[in-house]
């Protein structure tokens, strides 16, 4: 595991996040420091309440820490206004969720294209890139199917294509196999494992130790703290 | 530019994906605008032909007639009434007439027994009358100075009387006027401001004096065309100018006034129906706000994922507003068309002229858009404020 700064895609430094105030304050995350490097295939694992969802929100620039600093590609995002944070999110991060979160009235291609909207792209170019992304997850032939016409595994692959089409630096997957049967789960994990590259990291947030152990690096959490950070392969 | 196109496209796709909901959204502004347009248009159309007539006839014809204050018979105007009237500077042209009463007119002498012998108006006039009234001849000519000077018994008859007597255009005919044979030299077209002239017989002042009057002929009425911007003042001034020193009173009347009054749209009715239309459009707006608010809740997951994919709050808000604007534009246009159809059908059934003020169409669309945008503001704000972390139910 190299610690060369240029390789660090994202860094959390002494990050804490609390909800509520006064007596009712809940510390979801305590002084967490973590670096995500290009080429990483990391799993963040922990039981419910361990703070991994909070971690996901922060890693995904969906939330701001109460204290500490988060940098994405060397850019400090902690103090950024919502619009600027949204921009960083759109440029650097791709999301895959347990519940897929596809837009029901759009077909597979339309769902993938949604990630490329408002980016000043010509429709033809957007379409082409989206088709490529769908083909990459093996769903090129089902581009005109709506979510209801697709199986769970296929839906999650469409979500993967949507996350990939923006060429994000970090692919964040939240329990990506949680709603899938074993066979589809294995298929999705296989695709995920092949997605990290010299420029990209794949981060899986899960409570499933089997899934967590299939990653190259495992970060274990408990009670809002990182309790271990081990390289498995 | 590409971004704007994306916004419009997503709004259209979003609306088309939920057709029933979109249709319900459209109904409010559509019915409201249609009601308002139909209300204004139909009330205008009801009086459309009258309005056109008033515009055609002009509103500057003033009548001044002698009226006896002592209940005396046959009051007259002074001999020099035309010169007196012309002293009013805003008077442009004047034509005097004398109305003769109790004269029986029949198509020919022998018809007296068979024909109805109700007296019809016989009018002594000079050559100016059709000019001042601005009425054309159906055929033939008007009474001229030769008739006046030669004592020839020439008559012009109104188009209604011509029809009744079966006088054909250009036909050489004589009619019996109070026992005298008069040659019909022309047929006068309808005078809308003086409907009685339709069935009148016009003869020269000389003939009137020779055949029907014991005294010298004196006019009892004049028609004056006056400066259109000073009609009422001129009417007042005429009373004074003509009446000075005479024994009889002079009454003036602006001929188009009654017609204008009749041509006015029923403002109260219009106001009531427009108010109902406004109410419909406001209720429609509330409907849009309501349906869109529910839609924001239903689509919270979609909004959350869009936010996660990098769409800003502003984009989300504009997206929802744009849906409202599209609803306003389409609803407005459909409403205008529906309103026009209502006017057309209503006017056809009632036999009116189709009248629709040109400003109604753009005003209707603008109103629909305004209402829709106002209704869309609140749901758009709510949509923009949704936190992706909450709507996506992470973990």
The dihedrals phi and psi of A181, each to the nearest 5 degrees, come to -75, 170
Per-residue pLDDT of B1-29, as tens digits, reads 788 999 999 999 989 988 998 998 999 89
* Strand spans (E) along A38-125: 41-45, 67-72, 75-76, 93-96
- DSSP 8-state class, residue B184: E
- DSSP 8-state class, residue B8: H
For residue B198, the Cα-to-chain-centroid distance in whole angstroms is: 23
Residues of A with CB under 8 A from a CB of B: 48, 52-53, 56-57, 60, 62-63, 82-83, 86-87, 89-91, 95, 97, 99, 101-106, 110, 114-115, 117-123, 162, 166, 174-175, 205
ipTM: 0.93
φ/ψ region of A167 (left if φ > 0, alpha if ψ in -120 to 50, else beta) reads left
Q: Are B132 and B10 contained in the same domain?
A: no
Q: What is the pLDDT of residue B342?
A: 94
| Among A160, A172, A159, CA closest to A42 | A172
Q: What is the pLDDT of residue B46?
A: 81
Q: Are B71 and B29 contained in the same domain?
A: no
Specify if B17 maps to a domain.
yes
Specify if B122 maps to a domain.
yes
Q: What angle do CA B159, B160, B164 make, to 5 degrees?
A: 115
* pLDDT tens, per residue, chain B with 395 residues: 788 999 999 999 989 988 998 998 999 899 999 999 998 888 888 877 777 777 777 788 888 888 766 655 678 888 888 888 888 888 999 999 999 888 888 887 666 666 666 778 899 999 899 999 888 998 889 998 888 888 789 999 999 888 888 887 777 788 888 888 899 999 999 888 888 899 899 999 999 988 988 878 889 899 999 888 888 888 888 888 887 666 567 888 887 777 777 777 677 888 888 898 899 889 989 989 999 999 999 999 999 999 999 999 999 999 999 999 999 999 999 999 999 999 999 999 988 888 888 999 999 999 999 999 999 999 999 999 998 988 886 54
Q: What is the pLDDT of residue B247?
A: 58
| Contact yes or no for B392 and A97 at CB 8 A | yes
Q: Which domain holds residue B104?
A: 60-258
Q: How far is B298 from chain A (nearest CA, A)?
A: 11
Q: Is the pLDDT of residue A129 over 90?
A: yes
CA distance B289 to B291: 6
| Contact yes or no for B309 and A103 at CB 8 A | no
- What are the beta bridge partners of residue B64? B222, B252
Asked whether B232 and B256 are in contact (CB, 8 A), the reply is no
Q: What angle do CA A221, A38, A180 make, to 5 degrees?
A: 55
- What are the beta bridge partners of residue B252? B64
Residue A160: CB atoms within 10 A of its CB come to 26
Provide mean pLDDT across the span A56-74.
93
The residue in chain A having the minimum alpha-carbon distance to the alpha carbon of residue B318 is: A118
Q: What is the pLDDT of residue A86?
A: 94
The residue in chain B having the minimum alpha-carbon distance to the alpha carbon of residue A163 is: B309
The dihedrals phi and psi of B113, each to the nearest 5 degrees, come to -75, -40
Q: How far is A118 from chain B (nearest CA, A)?
A: 5
Q: What is the pLDDT of residue B246?
A: 60
| Contact yes or no for A83 and B313 at CB 8 A | yes
| Among B47, B27, B2, CA closest to B352 | B47
The residue in chain A having the minimum alpha-carbon distance to the alpha carbon of residue B394 is: A53
Exposure letters B101-139 (e unless 16+ CB within 10 A, then b): eebbbbbeeeeeeebeeeebbbbbbbbbbbebbebebeb
The residue in chain B having the minimum alpha-carbon distance to the alpha carbon of residue A178 is: B395
Specify if B205 maps to a domain.
yes
Which residues of B fall within a CB distance of 8 Å from A112? Answer: none
Q: Are B38 and B158 contained in the same domain?
A: no
Architecture of domain A39-61+80-231: 3-Layer(aba) Sandwich (3.40)
Would the CA dihedral through B120, B124, B127, B128 be positive or negative?
negative
| Contact yes or no for B395 and A105 at CB 8 A | no
Q: B251, exposed or middle or buried, with CB in 10 Å at 0-12, 13-18, 19+?
A: middle
Q: Are B237 and B276 contained in the same domain?
A: no
Q: Are B108 and B182 contained in the same domain?
A: yes
Single residue among B208, B231, B258 that ends a domain in this structure: B258
Q: Are B69 and B195 contained in the same domain?
A: yes
| Residue B169 CB contacts under 8 Å (≥ 6 apart), including other chains | B138, B139, B140, B187
Single residue among B258, B284, B303 that ends a domain in this structure: B258
Q: What average pLDDT is seen over chain A?
A: 92
Q: B166, exposed or middle or buried, with CB in 10 Å at 0-12, 13-18, 19+?
A: exposed
Which residues of A fall within a CB distance of 8 Å from B389? Answer: 57, 62-63
Q: Are B200 and B291 contained in the same domain?
A: no
Q: Are B43 and B112 contained in the same domain?
A: no
Specify if B55 maps to a domain.
no
CA distance B395 to A175: 7
- What are the beta bridge partners of residue B222? B64, B96
Which run of H or E residues covers position A37?
Answer: strand A26-37
Specify if B54 maps to a domain.
no
Single residue among B220, B239, B258 that ends a domain in this structure: B258
Q: Is the pLDDT of residue A32 over 50?
A: yes
Name the one residue in this structure whose structure tokens are 């990391």. A42
Q: B380, exposed or middle or buried, with CB in 10 Å at 0-12, 13-18, 19+?
A: buried
Residue A33: CB atoms within 10 A of its CB come to 13
Q: How far is B374 from chain A (nearest CA, A)?
A: 25
Q: Are B67 and B174 contained in the same domain?
A: yes
Q: Structure tokens of A124?
A: 């033809």
Q: Are B248 and B104 contained in the same domain?
A: yes
Q: Are B121 and B231 contained in the same domain?
A: yes
Domain count, chain B: 2
Q: Are B134 and B115 contained in the same domain?
A: yes
């Amino acid at each position: 595991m190299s610690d060369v700064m240029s390789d660090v895609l994202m860094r959390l430094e002494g990050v804490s996040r609390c909800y509520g105030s006064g007596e009712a304050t809940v510390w979801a995350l305590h002084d967490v420091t973590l670096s995500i490097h290009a080429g990483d295939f990391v799993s963040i694992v922990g039981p419910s309440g361990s703070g991994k969802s909070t971690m996901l929100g922060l890693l995904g620039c969906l939330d701001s820490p109460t204290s500490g600093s988060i940098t994405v590609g060397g850019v400090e995002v902690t103090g950024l206004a919502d619009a600027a944070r949204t921009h960083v999110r759109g440029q650097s991060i791709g999301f895959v969720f347990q519940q897929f979160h596809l837009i029901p009235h759009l077909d597979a291609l339309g769902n993938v294209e949604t990630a490329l909207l408002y980016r000043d792209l010509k429709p033809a170019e957007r379409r082409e890139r989206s088709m490529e992304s769908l083909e990459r997850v093996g769903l090129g032939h089902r581009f005109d199917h709506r979510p209801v016409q697709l199986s769970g595994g296929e839906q999650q692959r469409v979500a993967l294509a949507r996350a990939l089409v923006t060429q994000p630096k970090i692919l964040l997957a939240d329990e990506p196999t949680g709603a899938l049967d074993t066979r589809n789960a294995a298929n999705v994990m296989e695709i995920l494992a092949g997605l990290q590259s010299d420029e990209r990291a794949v981060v899986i947030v899960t409570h499933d130790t089997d899934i967590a152990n299939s990653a190259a690096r495992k970060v274990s959490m408990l009670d809002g703290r990182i309790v271990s950070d081990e390289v498995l392969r | 530019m590409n971004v704007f196109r994306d916004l419009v496209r997503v709004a259209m796709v979003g609306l088309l994906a939920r057709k029933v909901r979109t249709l319900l959204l459209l109904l409010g502004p559509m019915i409201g605008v249609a009601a308002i347009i139909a209300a204004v248009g139909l009330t205008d159309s009801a009086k459309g032909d009258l309005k056109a007539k008033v515009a055609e006839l002009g509103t500057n014809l003033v009548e001044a007639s002698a009226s006896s204050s002592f209940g005396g018979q046959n009051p007259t105007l002074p001999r020099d009434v035309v010169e007196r009237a012309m002293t009013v500077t805003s008077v442009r042209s004047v034509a005097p007439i004398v109305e003769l009463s109790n004269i029986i007119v029949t198509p020919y002498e022998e018809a007296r027994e068979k024909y109805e012998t109700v007296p019809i108006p016989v009018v002594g006039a000079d050559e100016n009358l059709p000019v001042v009234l601005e009425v054309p001849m159906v055929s033939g000519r008007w009474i001229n100075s030769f008739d006046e000077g030669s004592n020839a018994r020439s008559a012009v008859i109104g188009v209604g009387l011509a029809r009744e007597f079966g006088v054909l255009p250009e036909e050489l005919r004589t009619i019996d006027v109070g026992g005298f044979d008069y040659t019909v030299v022309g047929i006068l077209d309808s005078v809308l401001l003086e409907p009685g002239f339709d069935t009148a017989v016009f003869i020269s002042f000389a003939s009137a004096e020779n055949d029907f009057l014991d005294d010298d002929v004196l006019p009892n009425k004049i028609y004056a065309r006056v400066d259109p911007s000073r009609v009422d003042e001129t009417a007042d001034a005429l009373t004074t100018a003509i009446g000075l020193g005479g024994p009889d009173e002079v009454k003036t009347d602006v001929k188009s006034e009654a017609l204008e009054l009749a041509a006015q749209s029923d403002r109260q009715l219009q106001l009531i129906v427009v108010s109902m239309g406004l109410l419909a459009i406001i209720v429609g707006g509330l409907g849009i706000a309501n349906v869109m608010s529910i839609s924001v809740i239903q689509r919270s997951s979609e909004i959350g994922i869009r936010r996660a994919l990098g769409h800003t709050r502003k984009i989300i808000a504009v997206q929802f507003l744009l849906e409202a604007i599209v609803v306003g534009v389409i609803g407005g246009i459909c409403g205008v068309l529906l309103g026009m159809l209502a006017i057309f059908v209503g006017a056809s059934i009632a036999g009116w002229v189709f009248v629709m003020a040109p400003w109604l169409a753009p005003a209707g669309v603008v109103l629909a858009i305004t209402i829709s945008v106002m209704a869309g503001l609140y749901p758009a704000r709510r949509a923009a404020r949704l936190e992706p972390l909450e709507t996506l139910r992470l973990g």
